[in-house]
Every structure is written in C-alpha cells, then in structure tokens.
Chain A
Amino acid sequence: MDRRDFLKLTGAGLGALVIPAFYGRAIAAEALLTKIDVATKKRLADVALGAARSGGATYCDVRIGRYLRQFLVTREDKVQNVVNTESSGVGIRVIANGAWGFAASSDMSTDAVAKAARQAVAIAKANARLQAKPVQLAPVKGVGEVSWATPIVKNAMEVPIKDKVDLLLGVNAAAMQAGASFVNSTLFLVNEQKYFASTDGSYIDQDVHRIWAPMQVTAVDKTSGKFRTRDGLSSPRGLGFEYLDAKPADRVELPGGAVVYRDSYDMKADAIAAAKQAKEKLSAPSVKPGKYDLALDPSHTWLTIHESVGHPLELDRVLGYEANYAGTSFATLDKWKDKFKYGSDQVTIFADKTQPGTLGAVAYDDEGVKTQRWDLIKDGVLVNYQAIRDQAHILGLKESQGCCYADSWSSVQFQRMANVSLAPGKARLSPAEMIKGIENGIYIIGNGSFSIDQQRYNAQFGGQLFYEIKNGEVTRQIEDVAYQIRTPEFWNACVAVCDESDYRFGGSFFDGKGQPGQVSAVSHGSATARFNGINVINTARSLG
C-alpha cells in the first residue's frame, strides 16, 4: 500500500466512501470465513493449464486467489472506520516463444479462465518479438497436490468485530488515562487464500494469515506549543489473533526500563507506557550532534536491515529492472564476485521464508518453489542475493531461492524480499552486558523516520525512544536524534550482536516496489546490536 492509500484509509475528515481500489470490494464480516473449495480450484487451474498448452505455451502457472482484509481504525473513544474487503480472481502467467505473458480475470467461469489463458499466450507471443534472449527458467519439480497454512491459534477473522472494537477502545482509554492528549489505534488483518498450479505438476493450496496492531500516542503541551508522538512497539507478524493475548514470557524489560515484546503483545500496557514516554519527550534534552556508539534494539534494527541490506540485495534491482523507480544497488555483481566486505566479521545476514510467525513465511512461493533459508552476508562477506526462477542462472544457481510474490491475483508475481535477518551472536551477550561496555552512546528503541538513496548507500534513521548511555549506564531519555550512515561503513562498524535469547522480529506490512506498485509484507529478525562511531545529527529546528 502506498502512503496515499494509507492516508485515505486512516485520515480523519475523509468520507467513508473512499475505499482504496487496492483492497477490493467491501464485504460483510461473516463472508471472511468462507473459502473456495479446493476441487473447484483444481478444476479451474486445469482449464487454464490446458488452454495455455494448446495455445502454444511451453510453461504456465495459474494463481487462484482470494484476498481478504479487515481494518479497524479508531481514535480516542471513537471508531473511525471498519472495513472488510475481498478481492478474488485468477492470474495466469505463461511462457510462449521464450517470452512471458500474463492475463488476469475476476470472472472465475471456465470460459473466462480459458480466455485469459489464451490472452496470456497471445501477449507472450507479442512480447517475444521485443525479447533479446528467451526466458531461462530454473527447474522446479512438481509436488502434486499439497497444502499449507500459517500455524495460527486463533483466526483473527473469526473474532467478532465488537471484541476488536472493545480491545482498541480499551487501549485508547488506557492511554488517555495515562496522560495522552490523543491516541490512534488500528488493526490490520490479512488472509490470503492462494492456490497455485503449474505445468510442472504442482497444485499448492495455501492459507496465509497476518496481523498488525499499530498505534500512535501523542502528548501536547499547549503552553509551549510542543507535541511529541510515541508509536506502539508491536511488530506486524504472521500470526493469528493470539498475538494480542499477551503472555508474560513475551514481555522484555530493557536496560533503562523500556518494555518491548517478543511473540505476543500487550497493547494496553504499551499504550500506557507510550503515554508516559510521549510526555517525557516533551521535556527531554535535545541530543548533542556527533559520533556515538549506538545500541540498536531489534524493534529498531529491522528497518535498517530492510533498507540497507534487504533491498540492495534484490537481484532485479542489482540488474537495473527497478532503475526508474526504487533504483538500482551499490552491491553490484562484481562486488559479489570479489567477496565484498559488506560488514564486520560479526555480521551474518540471512534470507529465510520458513521462520514461523514471520510475515514472509509460506511453504511455497508464488511460482511454486519450496521456500528455504540462505545466507546473504556470511561473516561480513557478501555471498548471495535474492533471486527467482528466471534470474537463478545469472548467479549460477541450479534452482530459485523461492522469493517470488504477487500482492494480488491480478498482479504479475516478481522478485520480492524474503525475511532478511541479522543472525544473533554466538557468544553469550545480553543487552545489559552490551550497554555496560559503552562509554558514550545512544540506545535506540522502535523505528521512526527513514530515508535511503536509490543505490542504498546513504541512509538516515530516526526511532521512537532514545536513551543516553554514559559510562555503561542508561541515564535519561533524549530527543531529536537521527543517525546518518553509508551502508558498508555502518555494517563494518558493527562490533557486537547479542545472543539468541534476545532475538526478536520487526517488520513491514506494506513494503512497496514496482510500477504499477505492489506491496508485500516482510519480517526482519535481530538481537540488540552495537555499532561504533556513528554520525548522529540533531533534528530540532525553529520556525521562529
């Protein structure tokens, strides 16, 4: 989802009729619980595969998708919007005369599906005239009829809207009681019912669930005219509604007293903390710009990993396919061949679409490839990229890495970021022990403002909470902090990563890429990490 759609959905003062086209048609809550029968999907898929083959396709894949979304948007004691949407249809991709062709239809009759398959073949044949080299597809062995579902405990779509409204309004009331001036809280729930079939002999039925519960708590000091917001410290996850049933074991109290969450989230407790911390921000001292050692909490680091490692190691960007929009990458193939030192020896970063509870977790990607884990940076050295079936040969790979995704049945699947995570350190190290060794530093919790150049060299990141570290102690909250990096220098300045017991996930629910734009959801795991000598700027300004 782009920012514009997000604002349409959550913005106050906009009519309820404005439902971004992206979400499909609005439906009643009970319709979110039904599914299309697998036998029907197989029958339709076979129609498409047959029509494509007889039209001259050498390869065909069919995606029959039903994409369900529910959003609840609240502020203080009011529900601003409750939206249920559904989008379903068939997307058919073929190779004919060595070129790709794609067509999609919301009409799921056999005639319409066959027609779309023939149309995809015709488009492929037309595109073949402009194609310099035929598509080279890494082989995939058919898996027959299989199914997979996100291992959720409580289907969020089954939870009555009233319970969700009560939850959010309870959270808001708690924040207001704790001194917040304003609070917005939101629930985003997604269920992708995806059926994939291909001429390789696969029929894969997957039921994917995701949840996100963001909130913003604002404190206003009318006398000084100052306002500060502290966002919630939850992360979007590939989990069911059980994510919002907070378990005590998932509460993590950090050095200095801030509380973050592991695999379940206490939204109300976080709202209370957010109100208190937002008020503290109003009088927190402004940072003195300069070089600091940074201790970055996983609730923050995920976004730095996403922007400075996840994106530059997408092979389509490296090759130039995204040059006009998202950009290219500094991490060029010659650097990979020369064993480029992307980070310090402490830095091992891996891609993984199998980690349970993550946004990217599926059993098979959107071209029927079994998902896997692989290293991108090993002990600081660039060792791999993220590639799909028609790119694998460029890296000399025998198979795709399984990171192909389309955000809708009507979108063409393409290379998208896998969950990309910083491996925890091997030696025992807790955040408290790490901070003990820092003389002059800043401890950053939660993600804030972010911006990076089109080759992913120069980035600037803010955060939610900034704590001064003096002589090994977390002393006080400070404000107006942003750090600026040059990607390789930053990762080479990583001197320590805490151990596995501190490993937690953050993630993006709406990562955008492509023209026309598509979104995807991706998680990034890490343990608290230390980066020495990072340039911190002061972001306070005066408007006079």
Chain B
Amino acid sequence: MSIYTEEQARAILDKVIKLSKADQCSASLNGSSGGNIRYALNSVSTSGHVSDASLAVEVAFGKRVGTATINQFDDASLEAVVRRAEELARLAPENPEFVPAIDKQAYKASGTFHDKTAKVTPEYRAAVAAACIEPCRKDKLVAAGFFSDTHNFDAIANSKGNFGYQQSSWMDFTCTVRTDDGKGSGWVARNLGDVAKFDAKSDIQTAIQKAKGSVDAKALEPGKYTVIMEPAATAGLISFMMFGFDARRADEGRSFLSKKGGGNKLGEKLFDERVSIHADPWDADAAVLPWDNEGLARERTPIVTKGRIDYLHYSRYWAHKQGKKAIGQPGNLIMLGGDKSTMDLVKGTKKGILVTRTWYIRMVDPQTVLLTGLTRDGTFYIENGEIKYPIKNFRFNESPAIMLNNIEELGKPVRVGDDESPFVMMIPPMKIRDFTFTSLSDAV
C-alpha cells in the first residue's frame, strides 16, 4: 500500500516527531501509485505500474542539519531513521544560512484530487492506446504516444506543531502521429487533473489532422515573423523565464531581473500590459498543493500584473536577510488571456505562422533569457486568416522577456504540462509579432 489516509500519515509523523531528541525535527511522508502505457509504431511497447512511499526526516542541532529517508514505517524503522538523521546532523558542518523550522501554518485545502483519475485501470490505459493506434492504422499513419496517471499523497509535520495532508491525482497524455512515409508529423497533448475531461478519441484527431496537413512542407526564409503560438509552444519559454524570478539571484546581479547598479526590478513594468500571470493553489483547472517544498503556505500571488513584476521568490534565508516576508513558492503559473481559441487568432491574422509546439529549449544567455529551440509537429503558414500550407520547422533564438513585449493578442488559456517544468500552467494561445527564427530545420 502506498496511499495512506490522513489518520495513518499523522500517526506515523507524530511518532517521528516524538522520537527526535534534536533541537527541531521536520518530516515529510509521501506515497504514490501510478501507471503508464507507451506505444510506438502502432503497437504497445511498454506498460507498467509503480507504487512507492517514503519518509524523509530532517533534524537540527543548532545550525547543524541532517536528513535521512526510509521506506519502511514500523516502529523500529521509524526510530532508526530519526537516529540516522540525528547522527548525520552531528557530523554535518554548521550551515551559516540555517533557518529554523517553519511555524504552524494554516493550509486551506485545494482541489488536487480527482477520484476518477485515481481509479484509472490498466484496461483504461490500453483503451487510450487503442484509441490512438486504431484510427492511425486505418489511415496509413503511425502513432507513438505515452499516457500516465498518478495518485499520490503528501503529508508534512514538524516539532512546532505544523501538519498538512492532501491527496492529488493527475494524468498526462502526449501522442505523435506521423505519415508512414515520414513526410508529415502531428502532435497532441493533454494534461488534466480530472481524467473524466479526457477524450483520447477526439484529441487524437488533432494529431492526425496535423500529420496529414504537414506533408510536403515548404521552406520559408528565416527571419522575424508574426506567430500564433499554441499554449504548448510558449509554456516552455515562460517556465524557463521563471528561473530569473529568484530574488537572491536578482539581488546578486545574475538575473535578467537584476538592476544596473544593484538591487532588482521588482515593481518595474517590463512586459506588455496585457501580460498578467499569477499563482493560485486553488485554481479550479490547475490546483496544486497549498504548501511549497519547505512547507510554507501558498497564497494567491500576483507574479506579473499588467506587465509589472509583482513577485520575486524569497527563500526563507534571503527573506530574513533582506527584511522581507517569505511566502510559499508558487506551484502553478496562471496567465490571463481572452476568450478566443487558437483558430480564432488564426482567423484574425493577415500573414503569420502557426506553431504547434516548441522543442529542445535551452538557455543561450541568462543575461537576457535568450533561449533557443525549434518548432515541431505542425508548423503552418497563415494568410488572410487561413492556414495556407505547411512549412518547414524553424530554429528560434528569442527571449520570453522580449516576446512578452510583442503581444498582439491573447486567446483562452488552457492547462499545459511540460516535462521540463516544475509548474502546472494555464497558458493562452498568443499572437506575437517579430518572433525571431534564425535557421531552417529539415526535421519532420
């Protein structure tokens, strides 16, 4: 068993806290149960189920900290893990940046748990794979995809009386459809809390249409273009930009949010005034735990308001040093938009490029958050509000800090998952001018 009830989790954590002889003790207990199915070449390649639980105990003697973890929860094991943490703490060097355990927090539960998602069966996963493979087989297309579902619980406690418990569940689906001659490729992704909102049969049609529609792509000259970016196409760029929102990094002069001469750009207007991003653990479509990795309670936090930087993340140490209040680090990014769909944005575009997704995004220069990466799996030329023809993929070299100043229009946000991002995101489709493509790619 890897999913404990609140009572079971509390009983284990209470024992751990009582066992500790250190100056302070914090513990976290997590468990998860998840399944996945992977398919390629129109055939299931692997499928599996993993369940695991673990307990991490952190204790401190003065400024010396020790951490130990264990995956057995009988009394002897609990005693052993606490003693191990204490032993490590005694051996550890003093940490000059030590901060005491957090005070008792008030956590307001968020809607991270969806019963149907927690009850996904192997048969359901197989049906998702079949829903993608069958129409592709019939249409001389080749499907490769991955579906995973996770049900977990998180529980935390410390010797100052803090306690939190919550269950979560979510699903993630991606599928790439290619024409059998390799000349066309399309993609669809869906990241949801509630699997009841997922319809693989409908979603796969997006990938199929894009695969068929992207055959025989034409080459356009690299340069600056007006682009319609689907939500998945900008999620990676925005998520990358958030690494610059660390207050310490900015204060130290090594972020795009550092100020010339010292200090940071908190409060400055840096983006188009239609850009507003906030975090909200209770958002109905993108709920996350009401506490962060340190156990601090999360709040609804404006991050960017009408283009103005309203938030930098202060670690507890840095907040203390700078005389600021540390608040829970955001777990989601919710960017506001309008009501239009991606296709509505296309309709209002005289000339431009529709980008399905971006790929292999890497930092080129943290000074300006210049990122490089490529378009993939469905890039099209738009003329007079219509998709005219498929075009070859481009490499871009662009900074999200520049991109968010070149907004033409925003559509309706959708939930996006990203392999390389720690955030659950709600991102609108965006129409952006002067997006910089620097070279062509022959990749399909």
| Residue ranges of A at the interface with B (Cβ–Cβ < 8 Å) | 2-4, 7-8, 12-19, 21, 25-28, 77-79, 82-83, 102, 106, 123, 127, 130-132, 161, 165, 181-182, 218, 220-229, 319-325, 327-328, 330, 332, 410, 412, 449-458, 460, 462, 480, 482, 484, 486, 515-517, 535, 537, 539-543
Q: Does B56 contact A (CB under 8 A)?
A: yes
Name B240-271 residues within 8 Å CB distance of A.
243, 246, 248-249, 252-254, 256, 258-262, 270
Chain A nearest CB from B351 CB (Å) reads: 24
The stretch of B66-74, B107-115, B226-234, B341-349 in contact with A is B66-74
Q: Which residues of chain B have C-beta atoms less than 8 A from A165's C-beta?
A: 93
Contact between B293 and A225, CB atoms less than 8 A apart: no
Q: Which residues of chain B have C-beta atoms less than 8 A from A325's C-beta?
A: 146, 174
Chain B nearest CB from A540 CB (Å) reads: 7
Choose one: A78, A328, A458, A484; the contact of B182 (CB below 8 Å).
A328
Contact between B50 and A410, CB atoms less than 8 A apart: yes
How far is A451 from B398 in the complex, measured between Cα atoms in Å?
13
Chain A nearest CB from B48 CB (Å) reads: 7
Contact between B146 and A449, CB atoms less than 8 A apart: no
Q: Which residues of chain B have C-beta atoms less than 8 A from A17's C-beta?
A: 26, 28, 56, 58, 67, 293-294
| 10 A-B pairs with the lowest CB-CB distances in the bound complex, closest first | A13-B315, A225-B260, A458-B441, A455-B443, A323-B144, A453-B443, A220-B253, A324-B144, A15-B294, A541-B368
Q: Does B21 contact A (CB under 8 A)?
A: no
Q: With A14-B294, A451-B362 in contact, do A460 and B40 touch (Cβ < 8 Å)?
A: no
How far is A16 from B374 in the complex, measured between Cα atoms in Å?
35
- 29 pairs, A vs B, C-beta closer than 8 Å: A2-B420, A7-B243, A7-B422, A14-B293, A17-B56, A17-B294, A21-B54, A25-B70, A26-B67, A27-B68, A28-B87, A78-B96, A82-B92, A132-B43, A161-B91, A165-B93, A224-B260, A226-B367, A320-B178, A321-B45, A410-B50, A451-B360, A454-B360, A456-B443, A457-B441, A458-B442, A515-B38, A541-B365, A541-B399
Contact between B376 and A454, CB atoms less than 8 A apart: yes
Q: Which residues of chain A have C-beta atoms less than 8 A from B316's C-beta?
A: 13
Q: Does B10 contact A (CB under 8 A)?
A: no
Q: With A18-B293, A21-B52, A320-B178 in contact, do A26 and B420 touch (Cβ < 8 Å)?
A: no
Contact between A181 and B41, CB atoms less than 8 A apart: no
Contact between B176 and A181, CB atoms less than 8 A apart: no
Contact between B46 and A181, CB atoms less than 8 A apart: no
Chain B nearest CB from A436 CB (Å) reads: 31
Beyond contacts A453-B376, A542-B368: 16 other A-B pairs, Cβ-Cβ < 8 A, are A2-B419, A4-B420, A13-B246, A17-B58, A17-B67, A19-B69, A25-B70, A26-B68, A83-B67, A223-B261, A320-B40, A324-B38, A517-B419, A537-B397, A541-B370, A543-B401
Q: Does B190 contact A (CB under 8 A)?
A: no
Interface core residue of A82, A181, A221, A450 (most chain B CB under 10 Å): A82
Q: Which residues of chain B have C-beta atoms less than 8 A from A220's C-beta?
A: 252-254
Contact between B254 and A25, CB atoms less than 8 A apart: no
How far is A451 from B371 in the complex, measured between Cα atoms in Å?
10
Contact between A79 and B401, CB atoms less than 8 A apart: no
Chain B nearest CB from A258 CB (Å) reads: 21
Q: With A13-B317, A15-B295, A127-B44 in contact, do A451 and B146 touch (Cβ < 8 Å)?
A: no
How far is A284 from B393 in the complex, measured between Cα atoms in Å?
34
How far is A108 from B377 in the complex, measured between Cα atoms in Å?
44
Number of residues in B with C-beta < 8 Å to the partner? 97
Q: Does B131 contact A (CB under 8 A)?
A: no
Q: Which residues of chain B have C-beta atoms less than 8 A from A482's C-beta?
A: 364, 372, 397
Q: Does B412 contact A (CB under 8 A)?
A: no
Name B427-444 residues within 8 Å CB distance of A.
438-444
Contact between A79 and B422, CB atoms less than 8 A apart: no
Q: Does B12 contact A (CB under 8 A)?
A: no
Q: Which residues of chain B have C-beta atoms less than 8 A from A3's C-beta?
A: 420
Contact between B43 and A130, CB atoms less than 8 A apart: yes
Choose one: B58, B93, B248, B438; the contact of A13 (CB below 8 Å).
B248
Q: Which residues of chain A have C-beta atoms less than 8 A from B361's C-beta?
A: 451
Chain A nearest CB from B442 CB (Å) reads: 5
Contact between B318 and A13, CB atoms less than 8 A apart: yes
Residue of B nearest to A220 (CB): B253
Name B23-50 residues within 8 Å CB distance of A.
26, 28, 36, 38, 40-41, 43-48, 50
Q: Does B8 contact A (CB under 8 A)?
A: no
Residue of B nearest to A160 (CB): B91
Residue of A nearest to B365 (CB): A539
Q: With A453-B443, A458-B441, A543-B402 in contact, do A78 and B364 touch (Cβ < 8 Å)?
A: no
Contact between B441 and A453, CB atoms less than 8 A apart: yes
How far is A218 from B254 in the complex, measured between Cα atoms in Å?
8
How far is A223 from B54 in the complex, measured between Cα atoms in Å?
48
Q: Does B142 contact A (CB under 8 A)?
A: yes
Q: Does B88 contact A (CB under 8 A)?
A: yes
Chain B nearest CB from A316 CB (Å) reads: 9
Q: Which residues of chain B have C-beta atoms less than 8 A from A18's C-beta?
A: 293
Contact between A486 and B258, CB atoms less than 8 A apart: no
How far is A253 from B364 in the complex, measured between Cα atoms in Å?
27
Residue of A nearest to B254 (CB): A227
How far is A2 from B295 in the complex, measured between Cα atoms in Å?
24
Q: Does B373 contact A (CB under 8 A)?
A: yes
How far is A328 from B270 in the complex, measured between Cα atoms in Å?
39
Q: Does B7 contact A (CB under 8 A)?
A: no
Chain B nearest CB from A93 CB (Å) reads: 11
Chain B nearest CB from A444 CB (Å) reads: 14
Q: Does B5 contact A (CB under 8 A)?
A: no
Residue of A nearest to B375 (CB): A453
Chain A nearest CB from B33 CB (Å) reads: 13
How far is A325 from B96 in the complex, measured between Cα atoms in Å?
43
Residue of A nearest to B247 (CB): A13
Q: Does B363 contact A (CB under 8 A)?
A: yes
Q: Does B175 contact A (CB under 8 A)?
A: yes
Residue of B nearest to A320 (CB): B41
Q: Does B384 contact A (CB under 8 A)?
A: no
Q: With A132-B43, A226-B367, A543-B368 in contact, do A455 and B442 touch (Cβ < 8 Å)?
A: yes
Residue of B nearest to A14 (CB): B293
Q: With A17-B28, A222-B262, A227-B253 in contact, do A12 and B248 touch (Cβ < 8 Å)?
A: yes
Name B81-118 residues within 8 Å CB distance of A.
84, 87-88, 91-93, 95-97
Q: Does B65 contact A (CB under 8 A)?
A: yes
Contact between A516 and B260, CB atoms less than 8 A apart: no
Contact between A25 and B54, CB atoms less than 8 A apart: yes
Q: Does B298 contact A (CB under 8 A)?
A: no
Choose one: A26, A82, A106, A182; the contact of B254 (CB below 8 Å).
A182
Q: With A449-B362, A449-B363, A516-B36 in contact, do A539 and B397 touch (Cβ < 8 Å)?
A: yes
Contact between B40 and A25, CB atoms less than 8 A apart: no
Q: Which residues of chain A have C-beta atoms less than 8 A from B364's C-beta?
A: 449, 460, 462, 482, 539
Q: Does B169 contact A (CB under 8 A)?
A: no
Q: Does B313 contact A (CB under 8 A)?
A: yes
How far is A482 from B54 in the complex, measured between Cα atoms in Å?
44
Chain A nearest CB from B347 CB (Å) reads: 29
How far is A64 from B312 in the complex, measured between Cα atoms in Å?
46
Q: With A18-B293, A19-B69 in contact, do A457 and B442 touch (Cβ < 8 Å)?
A: yes
Contact between A537 and B402, CB atoms less than 8 A apart: no
Contact between A102 and B48, CB atoms less than 8 A apart: yes
Chain A nearest CB from B390 CB (Å) reads: 16
Q: With A17-B293, A453-B441 in contact, do A543 and B58 touch (Cβ < 8 Å)?
A: no
Residue of B nearest to A182 (CB): B252
How far is A390 from B281 in the complex, measured between Cα atoms in Å?
47
Contact between A543 and B256, CB atoms less than 8 A apart: yes
Q: Which residues of chain A have C-beta atoms less than 8 A from B442's C-beta?
A: 330, 455, 457-458, 486
Q: Which residues of chain A have C-beta atoms less than 8 A from B184's C-beta?
A: none
Q: With A324-B145, A460-B372, A515-B38 in contact, do A4 and B422 touch (Cβ < 8 Å)?
A: yes
